[in-house]
Amino acid sequence: MKKLLLTASVAALVAGALPASAETVRWARVSDALTLDPHSQNQGITHNFAHHIYETLVDRDVAGTLIPRLATEWALGDDPTVWVFKLRQGVKFHDGADFTAEDVVFSLDRARSDKSNMRQLHASVESVTAVDDYTVHVKMTGPSPLYPNNLTNTFIMDKTWTEANNAVTVQEAGSQDDNYAVRNTNGTGPYKLVSREVDVKSVLELNEAHWAETKPFVTKIEYTVISDAATRVSALLSGEVDFVQDVPVQDIERLSSSDGVTVTTGPENRVIYFGYKFGDAPLKSSNVTDKNPFNDPKVREAMALSIDRDAIKQVVMRGYSIPTGVATPPFVNGWTAELDKYPAPDIAKAKALLAEAGYPDGFTVTLDTPNNRYVNDEAISTAVVGMLGQAGIKVTLASRPIAQHSPLIQNAETDFYLLGWGVPTFDSAYIFNDLIHTKSGHYGAYNPGGYTNPDLDAKIQSLGTEVDVAKRDATIAEIWAVVQADRVLLPVHNQVLAYATKKGFNIAVHPENQPRIYEMTKD
């Protein structure tokens, strides 16, 4: 695969764009995939791009329903701890190699290895075995009735290709690790990677040998990174791109009334929240040098009472957000209307709580935020800085692109941070495993705050093998009750998406914000 150098600015790229043919879609996003190694990063933009090149055993449609992909059937076997996957026959990798069960075994084992940021999804897997060329058995540590829900972003690699290119070891998220799969691909998906300029432009072309009977009308994808919101919108209005996935909320109404543009909106299965460092050690960015203010529940309550979610919705999000008091979207099993309730802001009470905690004059801290990952992420953080300031907490904002923000989270190098969390399994266990469980082994990959509760850890792990639905749901409710009481996270809202396309191009809003260009239609 030819490696291209970063030689052009985004402005020059857009300005020099050629008119698209009927078969080309020019797709603009705010940021790039973090890597091409499909088991390195558990991150939405990275998965979204990968779904066009690689494939999973199962997938979700726009309604959130599980659908076949490389597996045609899946069911529990005679042994209730074994999942049996029947694989699609006649599938080829992009280099012409046959797809077989050994590739699935290799990929699932790679995805659950220690360096993979996908490992928590496979924490209950004991072993993976190829029974024959098109049958795979996944042995669980106990009954695991929801395991297929965990597979929608676990991509299948070619075992022979990966081994031949010395890419067996996963690129560890948040590290400077490198391997051949970081920059090169060999999937079974509907498109092949032709060229890639990181953070600028990637080109995909149709895989003519793809197994699907119906071929997409899009034969070429030009994936362009345009971080500046105004430039992204201008590119669509001028006809230089065909699809803008990350529409700024301030431009939705203008684009909706523009000739030649179609805007589609819908709720995303993603919550936006703030997290903070726990533990006895002082915060690195605070003027409190003898203890950690965030350890005091009164401080966390004061912060929650300082946030005006409705103001953020109206002013920052222009009405395009769904305020919430719990760190799970309504799509997810475990969400309830009662959990969703959030407090009205009360600055006077927040100040009183800070004084009771021993901080009558407040304290200082740095807030780390991405500025190109979520809808108006930096603007949300800016608003929260002002709100916390009214209560006496003086916050310094540190804003970075997601490529620099992610390592801070994964390496636990932040005192206070903004993050968004999608839930591809549509189940609360996915949130608990990564955000709440103690950071250890397969768990807690996105728990940089270091929250730990052994009793909660045991309950979280029990969800992976509990077959009694009522008992499992009761445990989920118990976990949420503790998470809410401990104020482990500070949720703000559930994200609302807007897609904008050139008139005549149609694509539905995907609840995971992972639209598939191969499903795009044209009038």
User: CA neighbours within 13 Å on the CB side: how many for 346?
Assistant: 11
**Cα angle 152, 100, 91; round to 5:** 75
CA distance 64 to 187: 24
Q: What is the CATH code of the structural domain delimited by 268-496? A: 3.10.105.10
Q: Provide the token pair at 464.
A: 């992976």
Q: At what angle do helices 297-306 and 377-391 cross, to 10 degrees?
A: 120
Q: What is the mean pLDDT of each successive set of 10 residues along the chain, which is 523 residues long?
A: 31 38 87 96 95 97 93 96 98 98 98 94 95 98 93 98 98 88 98 97 98 95 96 96 95 95 95 97 97 98 98 97 98 97 98 98 98 95 98 98 93 97 95 96 93 97 92 98 98 97 93 93 90
CA distance 369 to 201: 25
What pLDDT shows up at residue 177? 86
Q: Provide the token pair at 22.
A: 């009927």
Domain 10-246 sits in CATH 3.30.1300.10: no
Closest CA relative to residue 375, chosen from 222, 488, 251 = 251
Residues in the chain: 523
CA distance 190 to 208: 8
CA distance 489 to 384: 15
Q: Measuring CA to CA, how many Å separate 179 from each of 96, 109, 175, 373, 415?
A: 22, 17, 12, 25, 31
What pLDDT shows up at residue 4? 31
The residue assigned the tokens 């003086």 is 394
Query: In 365-449, which ranges are continuous DSSP H helix?
Result: 377-391, 402-410, 428-431
CB 303 within 8 A of CB 351: no
The residue assigned the tokens 């590739």 is 103
Pairing of strands 243-244, 489-502: antiparallel
CB 155 within 8 A of CB 56: yes
What pLDDT shows up at residue 22? 53
Where along the chain do the CATH 3.40.190.10 domains lie? 10-246
CA distance 24 to 8: 21
What pLDDT shows up at residue 316? 97
CB 112 within 8 A of CB 126: no
The residue assigned the tokens 């690129």 is 171
CB 416 within 8 A of CB 365: yes
| Element containing residue 26 per DSSP (H, E) | strand 24-29
Q: How far apart are the first and last CA of the chain?
A: 35
Dihedral pair phi/psi, residue 233, rounded to 5°: -65, -40
Question: What's 97's DSSP letter?
Answer: P
| Element containing residue 494 per DSSP (H, E) | strand 489-502
| Element containing residue 309 per DSSP (H, E) | helix 309-311
Question: In one letter, which amino acid is 203?
Answer: V
Question: In one letter, which amino acid is 433?
Answer: N
Q: Provide the token pair at 240.
A: 């230089």
- Percent helix, strand, coil in the chain, to 5, is 30, 25, 45
Q: Provide the token pair at 330.
A: 């309504």
| Element containing residue 74 per DSSP (H, E) | strand 71-76
Q: Provide the token pair at 72.
A: 């045609």
SS3 call for 516? coil
Query: In 22-176, which ranges are continuous DSSP H helix?
Result: 44-50, 101-111, 159-164
> What DSSP line would sit under 174-204, residue for residue?
TS----GGGT-----SSEEEEEEETTTEEEE
CB 521 within 8 A of CB 514: no
Closest CA relative to residue 519, chosen from 43, 67, 34 = 67
CA distance 514 to 44: 7
SS3 call for 374? coil
